[in-house]
Amino acid sequence: MKNTLETRLGIFVALAVLAAVLIMETLGGPEWFRRGYHLNAEFNNVQDLKLGSQVKMAGVEIGKVEKIGLDETNNKVRITMKLRRAVIVRTDSTATIKFTGLLGQNFVSVDFGTTTSPQAADGAMLATVEQPDLSAMMQKIDNVASGVENLTKSFTGVKIDDLLGPLTDFIKANSRPLTATIANFQAVSAQIAEGKGTVGKMINDDALFNSLYNTATNLQDVGSDIKATIADARGLLDQAKTNNGTIGKLINDDKLYREAADAMSNLRQVLEGILQQRKTHPAKTRQSHRRPRRSRPTQRPRSHRQQPVLTI
């Protein structure tokens, strides 16, 4: 290769293109040059999140992580995300740091939020949801594995006969009682299968089943009647609330209340007048309340009838 000006210029252009590609990849690729808006989120732990990590919504990439820094005022890590202008993120959307696999790269997942919420403005702060730390989970798994290993070590050198020996001795010492107990269980199960005894009749008797079925049906009917009664009561209450029907008018009609109040007021005035009259004219009041005596009819004097004189 000749050391000419064209060769030097070509090497310089190639190095410039390579440097530009590396710079673009470091800054986040073409997303750096696209127009968009920024949103912020704060986490207790970003879990090895890096600059240029993807921001996804329902698995679709919508932006990149542009800045990661510590917020010493509340002891959290603040990240700044640059999102595409066409993507709509709601004010009630939440951000979560997730990972694509055990060895995958972490990314920020943003959910849709509710359709009734407005769009988040540029520079808004999103609510966050903390995911379990992968390192803490691996530490717990390691502790469980250590416990299992210690358990297996505790059985090392112990024979099966030493573990099952006491149980075998117990069975041998109580073989007759165990045999009698098993025989009794077999006899009871045979009686139940034949329909004998209380339990057998309860299981095999169709009359008892029909009785229980009828009882359950009656309970269902009672429940339906109770529901219907409650529905009727609710209907009456609704009518009372909406001022419909007789009950609603009795409860909500102010005219009826005023008429009843006027009637009670008039009745009280009449009673007060009667009491006042008794206080001022007690004699007249007593005479007026006395019942008039009935006049007895005058009896006429009886006429002395002349007795007939007998003549001879």
- For 223-278, what is each residue's pLDDT tens digit? 888 988 998 888 877 777 776 766 666 676 677 777 878 888 888 888 888 888 87
The overall average pLDDT reported for the chain is 78
Poorest-pLDDT segment among 60-74, 96-110, 173-187, 190-204: 190-204
Answer yes or no: are the C-beta atoms of 99 and 106 closer than 8 Å.
yes
User: Can you tell me the distance from the alpha carbon of 275 to that of 268, in angstroms, rounded to the nearest whole number?
Assistant: 11
Query: pLDDT grade, residue 309 (50/70/90)?
Result: very low
User: Can you tell me the distance from the alpha carbon of 122 to that of 91, in angstroms, rounded to the nearest whole number?
Assistant: 11
User: Can you tell me the distance from the alpha carbon of 21 to that of 15, in angstroms, rounded to the nearest whole number?
Assistant: 10
The average pLDDT across 113-131 equals 91
Answer yes or no: are the C-beta atoms of 99 and 107 closer than 8 Å.
yes
Answer yes or no: are the C-beta atoms of 110 and 58 closer than 8 Å.
no
Poorest-pLDDT segment among 2-6, 85-89, 97-101, 298-302: 298-302
| Res 304 pLDDT > 50 | no
Query: pLDDT grade, residue 311 (50/70/90)?
Result: very low
* Best-predicted range by mean pLDDT (91-95, 141-145, 299-303): 91-95
Amino acid at 226: I
Phi first, then psi: what are they for 195, rounded to 5°? 85, 20
| Res 297 pLDDT > 70 | no
Whose CA is closest to 74, among 44, 46, 94? Answer: 44
Cβ contacts of 189 within 8 Å, gap of 6 or more = none
| Res 30 pLDDT > 80 | no
User: Can you tell me the distance from the alpha carbon of 96 to that of 106, in angstroms, rounded to the nearest whole number?
Assistant: 10
Strands (E), the chain: 36-43, 54-57, 60-71, 76-84, 94-99, 106-110, 124-129
Q: What's the confidence (pLDDT) of residue 270? A: 86
Q: What's the confidence (pLDDT) of residue 116? A: 92
Question: Where exactly are the structural domains of the chain?
Answer: 1-33, 35-136
User: Can you tell me the distance from the alpha carbon of 64 to that of 80, in angstroms, rounded to the nearest whole number?
Assistant: 9
Q: What's the confidence (pLDDT) of residue 296? A: 56
| Res 39 pLDDT > 90 | yes
Poorest-pLDDT segment among 19-33, 37-51, 185-199: 19-33
31 versus 152: which is more confidently predicted?
152
In sequence order, the β-bridge partners of residue 40 are 80, 125
For the stretch 175-211, pLDDT in tens is 888 888 888 888 888 888 777 777 777 777 777 777 8
Whose CA is closest to 131, among 54, 203, 44, 198? Answer: 44
User: Can you tell me the distance from the alpha carbon of 192 to that of 188, in angstroms, rounded to the nearest whole number?
Assistant: 6
| Res 285 pLDDT > 60 | no
Tokens for 113? 């939020």
Q: Where are the alpha helices (DSSP H) in 155-244?
A: 160-173, 175-194, 197-204, 206-241
Q: What's the confidence (pLDDT) of residue 156? A: 60
The average pLDDT across 51-67 equals 91
